[in-house]
A and B are shown apart, each in its own frame.
Chain A
């Protein structure tokens, strides 16, 4: 399988703060990689670098030419427009005609079961609905590589479950590569095939999901071991 993403010795500096320090990460097509670690460890920065939103201070980022990316943010910003147009805007910005954008936007809304509120103003939706709407917008772009920044962290348990189900169905049906950050270790177990543990901008562990959760990490990865035990972060 080919690499969809390759980060080579990547560092990112904000003023005097090093948010990422010499990070190496390769992802193959179809892989589902979870980024875990305490707040401020660099998960969001890494996602933004992978998505091209942040420039690196050192190192190289390469993304396969056939990759179509979409990113879902922790708290998606709702434009002051209708739910349908919110999705259609995303498609229009990517080059679709306004008419085609509306058709595809409605299909995306049906997929996340929001077709009934298509004409409502996006900002009046609940937190869970807004996150489903953000997923719909990402899905409408037909990406083969999705990046998600703590997609369920601000949701209640029911909304969290709904969003997670949608994500699981999505990646199962379309072999989509997934790079997501999460503090929810149960979610990581359910969605990821591989776990990358970050600490102060460095990758401390990069392991298949079974190995990360089932093998004793105390000696090889003491920080990750403490994180798993809930004694860190």
Chain B
């Protein structure tokens, strides 16, 4: 108990004294995860919206693969990205291995299936309920998917939270492709793992507190935004049924 209390107090001191090592790790973590989330959301929202509306041969198989990718272990993603970026890999010429770019790529790959699958489900539900009303106005599948995704934009904010949460909290992929190099590719999760193994618990705990606070703040912000906009836009209407 005394160890926990001492560790917590030291962790709080590090936070309040604006320890430069700690805050540089926090800044690097946020930069990598925000960029990876933005990239994954840019692609995943479009792809998911299209999959929610489009019907084609092989769609069911593609969705099965997509849903399987949701459970993809982050170390496996790290390994695949490592193989891609290694000197002999197809993207080796980029020279990204053990850099922040490699970490962004790995996190984006990890998060992309999450964004795509959740967006697909959200847009598919919307399409089932009122897609025919847009179809009735002449909206083709691609335009319909964009309109339905836009119409469900507040529900899709939850996807953004899930994506960012997955990105910032993962450790395996960034450890493999980033190398956890001090002052260069060390982020919150890899630092927590390392400092814990070294026995520097205060720094690990301080980073853990920051990590949880960042995710909590983001959740609070987006939930407030959703509630505010839904109040402005009115409640969701009751859905119609076929007679």
Contact = CB atoms under 8 A, between A and B. Distances in A.
Indicate, yes or no, whether A interacts with B: yes
Interface of A: 39-45, 48, 51, 53, 70-71, 73-80, 89-90, 93-94, 121-125, 130, 141, 149-150, 181
A45 B242 contact: yes
A137 B133 CA distance: 11
B240 A123 contact: no
A75 B135 contact: no
B213 to A, nearest CB: 31
B137 A77 contact: no
B217 interface: no
Given A43-B243, A44-B243, A77-B130, A53 B151 contact: no
Nearest to B238: A75
The secondary-structure label for the interface of chain B is: helix
Contacts of B154: 80
A223 to B, nearest CB: 17
A93 B243 contact: no
A75 B237 contact: yes
Contacts of B71: none
30 contacts: A41-B243, A42-B243, A43-B243, A44-B242, A44-B243, A45-B242, A53-B135, A73-B136, A73-B240, A74-B243, A75-B239, A75-B240, A76-B133, A77-B129, A77-B133, A77-B237, A78-B234, A78-B237, A79-B147, A93-B138, A94-B137, A121-B233, A121-B234, A123-B235, A123-B237, A124-B233, A141-B137, A149-B243, A150-B243, A181-B243
A190 B243 CA distance: 22
B127 to A, nearest CB: 11
Given A75-B237, A75-B238, A150-B243, 18 more contacts: A39-B243, A44-B243, A53-B135, A71-B136, A73-B136, A73-B240, A74-B240, A75-B240, A76-B133, A77-B133, A78-B234, A80-B150, A80-B153, A80-B233, A89-B147, A121-B234, A124-B233, A124-B234
B132 interface: yes
A113 to B, nearest CB: 20
Contacts of A43: 243
With a 10 A CB-CB cut-off, give which of B132, B143, B240 has the most chain A CB atoms.
B240
A38 to B, nearest CB: 9
Contacts of A53: 132, 135-136
Given A93-B143, A181-B243, A73 B234 contact: no
A51 B232 contact: no
Contact of B234 (A77, A89, A123): A123
A41 B153 CA distance: 36
B224 interface: no
Nearest to A39: B243
A34 to B, nearest CB: 14
B65 interface: no
B143 to A, nearest CB: 7
A45 B242 CA distance: 7
